[in-house]
A and B are shown apart, each in its own frame.
Chain A
Amino acid sequence: MSAAALIVPLGREASVPPERRGIARDEVRLLVSDRAGRRHADRSFRDLPLLLRCGDLLVANDSGTLPAALTARRADGTALGVHLSARIAEGRWIVEPRAALVAAGERVDLPEGAEITFVAPVDAGNPRLWYATVATPLPLETFLARHGRPIRYGYVSEGFPLADYQTIFARTPGSAEMPSAGRPFSARVVDGLAAAGVRVATLTLHAGVSSAERSERPMREPFRVPESTASAVNETRLRGGRVIAIGTTVVRALESAARRGAAVASAGWTDLIVTPERGVALVDGLLTGFHEPEASHLDLLRAFLDDAALRTAYIHAADSGYLWHEFGDLHLVF
């Protein structure tokens, strides 16, 4: 499908969190589309418990956002922005140097005697992401808490505190970018869901930095689907309830845990790419934000809505003043 219909409409980028626009987290707007693409309804996110039914299951990503943006200093004294994208092992990361070319073997300094050494590009044809060693005299979490900032893109007006980048589900720090579909959930919405008989289960997928270009394949990401969540998914489906993923990261993790039509407890790295051709085996619906029409995100959405329905939904959202990106409005497809 043409991405043209899906470009971010001018002036519709949410540049600040909703709390700083005078509304609560859960007061963002919610566009509700049925998967046949016939109906698009404008609701408030707070209505979510009214839209789901007893027996449905929401699955959230409990990965917490890291303050993964750092400023390093190169040997020539110039500053280099770096994003820690994914932790491979103790002290070994996939790192994205911002707006500069680095060379294999280059070492850059961080505050308090910490340093990053770029070892090799992840993909030889595209030197955007690097395998790197990250050495910090302090425990990394302490170091990041002191010196890191949440990753921020150009459409966000200023640096906001890390708390603005955490969801109510965050338990395990590890994402370079916030699993943002979980952001509007508040204690009152979660209470409302419980009262409506809608269960919530969690899994972990640490999201790396997003692909910069439409042609880029999404990266491998570490994930874990616990036994309790796998059985909740299977039980829900067997009883006729719907499994609704809170965010594309949850679709990726759950579908990576699908074996012969059922979910099994799984952990590891996933390079799964969900496309309309592959389809979805375990997920009946998706709650997601409005994002850049980057290829992998589009493909995943198209596993839930066909091209025409997706276009109608995005045109409706653009015409009706919905806001894009991680601090913006939400889209429920089921």
Chain B
Amino acid sequence: MNENSWFERGHVAIVTGASQGFGRAVATELAGRGIALVLDARGAELLDETARRLTEHVPVVAIAGDVTDGAHVHELIAAAERRFGRLDLVVNNASTIGRSPLPRLDQLSPAMLERIYATNVFAPLHLIQHALPLMQRNDGGTIVNVSSDAAVNAYAGWGGYGSAKAALEQLSRILAEELSGSNVRVIVADPGDMATALHRAALPDEDPAGLADPKDVAPALLHAIAAAREPFTRVVLQEQLAAR
């Protein structure tokens, strides 16, 4: 299967956190390949701006809300179902680092930890749970959970975010195991450091000039989606970029 045959015009993707940064770059790449989109972000204004721009290429539904809100997740799925009647790809991209500056674990409040897990672990799983029946109604599909090297490496201050991403990765592996034999593939993608709002919040003093532009990283994710053969794949996107 070549890259273009995976991305069939008329296929449908949900991308969370799509109003800026990596999510917006991925949505833009998908639109360029003719994939209809259901987009989510918390800020309606930025989200609508992205959606209106992409509408020139593909049908786009934009629903502002928080992925930790169960009803909002139901809305995303309902929009894919009623407007497009199918779902082929879910990109769980919406993420939070909690609070900036990043607190050490001994300073991390239970409320903040709960918020980080709610956004980075519980919300993606909730979306997946509702997406699977719709995906499996057609030809199966792909689930992408956007992670980070903080899930595998120990960086001081990244305890909340990193452990949440580690949980998301382990959950992805187990999900893939449970789905083996179905036509649903699970991908964990580590996009690496990029010049995004999340990165700015985490490391406000770092010079963004040396960081990758999400626009340059997003094509590597599309390549990984098209290339995935195994039930589970973990891909470091900037390594893929360097290798190509």
Residues of A within 8 A of B (CB): 34-36, 53, 234, 237-242, 260-262, 284
Contacts and interface: CB of A to CB of B under 8 A. Distances in A.
A237 to B, nearest CB: 7
B58 A240 contact: no
| Residue of A238, A240, A262, A284 with most partner-chain B CB within 10 A | A240
A34 B81 CA distance: 12
Contacts of B59: 237, 261
A261 B55 contact: yes
Interface of A, secondary structure class, is loop
B130 interface: no
A240 B79 contact: yes
Given A237-B61, A238-B61, A240-B78, A262 B55 contact: yes
Interface string B50-76: 011001111111110000000000010
A284 B75 CA distance: 18
A218 to B, nearest CB: 26
A53 B85 contact: no
Contacts of B58: 261
Interface of B, secondary structure class, is mixed
9 closest residue pairs by CB, A with B = A240-B79, A240-B61, A260-B56, A261-B55, A240-B83, A261-B56, A238-B62, A262-B55, A238-B51
Given A35-B85, A240-B75, A260 B63 contact: no
B38 interface: yes
A36 to B, nearest CB: 7
A255 to B, nearest CB: 14
A284 B85 CA distance: 11
29 contacts: A34-B85, A35-B85, A36-B85, A234-B55, A237-B55, A237-B59, A237-B60, A237-B61, A237-B83, A238-B48, A238-B51, A238-B61, A239-B61, A240-B38, A240-B61, A240-B78, A240-B79, A240-B82, A242-B83, A260-B55, A260-B56, A261-B56, A261-B57, A261-B58, A261-B59, A262-B52, A262-B55, A262-B56, A284-B83
Contacts of B61: 237-240
Nearest to A259: B56
A241 B57 CA distance: 19
Contacts of B38: 240
Contacts of A239: 61-63, 79
Contacts of A234: 55
Given A53-B82, A240-B78, 7 more contacts: A234-B55, A238-B48, A238-B62, A239-B62, A240-B61, A262-B56, A284-B83
A41 B242 CA distance: 55
Contacts of A261: 55-59
Contacts of A34: 85
Contacts of B85: 34-36
Interface string B85-105: 100000000000000000000
Contacts of B57: 261
A35 B81 CA distance: 13
A312 to B, nearest CB: 18
A305 to B, nearest CB: 13
A82 B58 CA distance: 46
Nearest to B62: A238
A241 B48 CA distance: 15
| Residue of B38, B52, B58 with most partner-chain A CB within 10 A | B52
B55 A242 contact: no
B62 to A, nearest CB: 5
Contacts of B51: 238
A36 B138 CA distance: 12
A172 to B, nearest CB: 30
Contacts of A242: 82-83
